Structure 1
Amino acid sequence: MGEWIEVGKKAPAFTLAADDGSKVKLTELKGSPVIVYFYPKDDTPGCTKEACQFRDSMETLQGHGATVLGVSPDTVASHEKFRDKFELNFRLLADPDHKVAEKYGAWREKNMYGKKKMGIQRSTYLIDADGKVAKLWKSVRADGHAAKVLEALEEHLGA
């Protein structure tokens, strides 16, 4: 189980397959802010609410030059269905072996109905243009989260 990446530290590099068939390399996004959010499962109530709020904030987020990437252990095919069903306008990345989630500390022990198991803890990283962590949200509540991320982005950019 990985540790959270502290603010000011370099965000771990990764390359993952996206819902659109592309490969996304974090290092290729340097030069502008990147929002990497980890979520447990496509098309579940909380994850859908969170994704739709990012979708609805996309114009403003992109206006600040930010790229949004949703990461879960789901397959590319699952991501395609989720994207199409809710008209998501950002890329969803497949991390089926949860290696990236582990690097970022998002793969953690969870207690579900008294049973302990490993899974994704809903969390978000705001990575600055230099590839360093500008802000981290752990144990995110889906509702209203995109607005908090936008607020932090604007604060970080001094907008």
Structure 2
Amino acid sequence: MKNIFATLACTVVFCLSLSAQTPSKPLAVGDAVPIFTLKNQNDKTFNIKGEIGKHILVIYFYPKDESMVCTKEACAFRDSFNDYTKAGAKVIGINSGTVASHKQFEQHYKLPFILLSDPENKVYKMFGVRKKLFMSGRQTFVVDIKGNIAFSYEAMLSGAEHSNQALAVVKSLKTR
């Protein structure tokens, strides 16, 4: 009898923890970008509200600094950084890593863009980015100059493709 109650209690706790981690509905094209504030790799406060209307925003969520696919993804954004800048876009990477981890990642790979620390995955949830295989999800959003989602791309194992897809959208927005 004791084991049944222990099993039931563990099941309830597990289910509650899963529901607490479940993000809101995924953002779709046309939705307004959520307003958020996070710390960047230099421990400075970044508020997205101050960027809307100034730039096209490329916001990519990735699981972990220094992991193989995440590094390929970050380096793809780095290698296309001048193209993004010429098109009027600002690149922003977000994950749950610490400010210090982001700083090391930035320095190790000479990343010229913003990395934001979301330790409680609040912004992940705002965007509706879902976990995959016990890891934070990998999803890229392009936000137009008006602050609306113009594009979303999700592919867990194709890190570099996120930059290719986003850049094509950014260039198309620039010509409109």
Alignment gaps of 5+ in structure 1: 112-116
- Higher Rg of the two aligned structures: 2
Answer 1 or 2: which has greater helix percent: 2
| Per-residue deviation, 1:8 | 0.6
Q: Is the 8 A contact 1:73 1:97 kept in 2?
A: yes
Matched, 1:52 2:59: no
How many residue pairs match? The answer is 152
Matched, 1:129 2:152: no
| Structure 1 counterpart of 2:6 | none
- Once residues 144 and 6 of structure 1 are traced to their aligned partners in structure 2, the CA distance between those partners, rounded to angstroms, is 19
Amino acid in the other structure paired with 1:91? I
| Structure 1 counterpart of 2:118 | 95
Answer 1 or 2: which has greater strand percent: 1
Alignment gaps of 5+ in structure 2: 1-21
- RMSD (Å) for aligned C-alpha atoms: 1.3
Amino acid in the other structure paired with 1:127? V
| Structure 2 counterpart of 1:114 | none
Query: In terms of mean alpha carbon deviation, does 149-158 or 6-15 score higher?
Result: 149-158
Secondary structure at the counterpart of residue 151 of structure 2: strand
Task: Return the TM-score normalized by structure 2.
Answer: 0.82
- Once residues 155 and 164 of structure 2 are traced to their aligned partners in structure 1, the CA distance between those partners, rounded to angstroms, is 16
Q: Pick from 128, 143, 153 the counterpart of residue 160 of structure 2.
A: 143
Q: Is the 8 A contact 1:37 1:123 kept in 2?
A: yes
Amino acid in the other structure paired with 2:34? P
Task: Return the TM-score normalized by structure 1.
Answer: 0.91
| Per-residue deviation, 1:62 | 0.6
Q: Is the 8 A contact 1:74 1:95 kept in 2?
A: yes
Residue pairs, 1:1-40, within 5 angstroms: 1=22, 2-31=24-53, 32-40=55-63
